[in-house]
Structure 1
């Protein structure tokens, strides 16, 4: 899979895309996080923009590769958060991740990066697991918006 180039330098902020896989559970919402390979942080699936794919499509691809989930990705971003991406060299690269909601329709156990831990968590647990206050705020805001939609497919009220 062809990735776009990733310039590096001390002042450079890398641009990445990510998906926030979510699903309804009872009257609430759970989101899916994966553990990073280098620093063992919990984050939504994320990665580099992909040649030939829109940012939401690339985010959905990352959700499949890193978390084994597929579904409907929103084309409007939830927002952005900053993250220090760990590099194989041991250094870090400042990155800004544009996050897209992905309503989960399929969860598989056989996916490309299944060796990495995946975790479904309620909103407050997920917000506590992530290190970024920006990301925690995005998760909380998304969940509040999702619950306000009144989308009760298959739910009795």
Structure 2
């Protein structure tokens, strides 16, 4: 499947809901810069760590790729699809989400109505491939930043909390151990399983 022919899934006819919450899946894409030093040292890890953030139309802040979790995919598949559609990256997704957060959609963030409330599940995603072209490239630029800059650029408190959880998971060795045990690129994002293939349709 050529990156140039990929299209983002449109509409909300398959959108999942939990009570009045729209269910959302997303990820913190990351990479570790190469170095000859011992990469298991906590300070070295943080120095080498970069996360990928994306721009959105008519906004100056940066966010993490995320979007609606639909009824023909798992939550991890939805996070992988959004990373591909919005940021043009594939990789190894963590086995469990960093957590879940309640937030409001961009169009309703100043409203007190239950309408527009979202419940989002955020995963860590070790990036192994960056596409030159991706479905939502016209709406989302991408930018690699340090963890320090990511905290400063995060508009919302839930994003900083997700970064806290990501840092704890990384330093706890859960992410690195998972990646090291994969002899083949067999993660959800690398495989693009059947549901994810249906989610990213050909133009």
Which TM class, normalised by the smaller chain length?
A: 0.7 to 0.9
Structure number with greater Rg is 2
Residue 15 of structure 2 contacts residue 69 of structure 2 at CA under 8 Å; is this kept in 1? no
Residue 42 of structure 1 contacts residue 130 of structure 1 at CA under 8 Å; is this kept in 2? yes
* Equivalent residue for 1:136, pick from 126, 136, 160: 160
Residue 50 of structure 1 contacts residue 58 of structure 1 at CA under 8 Å; is this kept in 2? yes
Gaps of 5+ in 2: 1-8, 35-43, 181-203
Q: TM (normalized to structure 2)? A: 0.63
Render the CA deviation track for 1:19-56: whole Å, top value 9, x for unaligned.
11111125321111112335443211000012321000
Alignment partner, residue 149 of structure 2: 125
Moved over 3 A (4+): 37-41, 150-153
2:88 matches 1:64 = no
Gaps of 5+ in 1: none
Q: Give 1 or 2: higher strand fraction.
A: 1
Q: Give 1 or 2: higher helix fraction.
A: 2
1:81 Cα shift? 2.7
| Change beyond 3 A, Cα 1:16–1:117 | same
Residue 66 of structure 1 contacts residue 113 of structure 1 at CA under 8 Å; is this kept in 2? yes
1:148 Cα shift? 4.2
Q: TM (normalized to structure 1)? A: 0.79
